[in-house]
């Protein structure tokens, strides 16, 4: 499994968590906020590149969250810096 595939799987896992939290819009907002808050720019950029090639490996909700992140790069996170990005 490549690093990008692993990131896509992680994004999908985050999507599964937030899918259960409410509406589709709430799930996308939660995923977006999580990726913005806890993933490094490098991690996000790898998935932006993957998304540009197609959504192969990315489920619908994480893909939409990444599109929002890419189109709104300067929006502030609801979370403090740091986190589980390793």
Over residues 32-85, the pLDDT tens digits come to 999 999 999 999 999 999 888 886 789 999 999 999 999 886 666 554 444 444
Task: Indicate the pTM of the whole model.
Answer: 0.81
Distance CA 78, CA 60 (A): 23
For residue range 68-81, list pLDDT tens digits in order.
Answer: 999 886 666 554 44
Helix (H, G, I), strand (E, B) or coil at 2: coil
Distance CA 81, CA 86 (A): 12
Sign of the CA dihedral with 35 first, then 39, 44, and 50 last? negative
From residue 42, how far is each of 4, 24, 47, 48, 58 by CA, in Å?
Answer: 11, 27, 9, 10, 17
């Amino acid at each position: 499994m490549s690093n990008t595939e692993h990131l896509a799987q992680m994004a999908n896992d985050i999507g599964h968590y937030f899918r259960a939290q409410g509406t589709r819009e709430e799930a996308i907002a939660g995923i977006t906020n999580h990726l913005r808050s806890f993933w490094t720019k490098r991690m996000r950029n790898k998935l932006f590149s993957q998304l540009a090639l197609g959504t192969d490996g990315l489920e619908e909700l994480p893909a939409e969250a990444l599109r929002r992140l890419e189109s709104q790069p300067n929006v502030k996170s609801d979370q403090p810096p740091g986190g589980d990005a390793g």
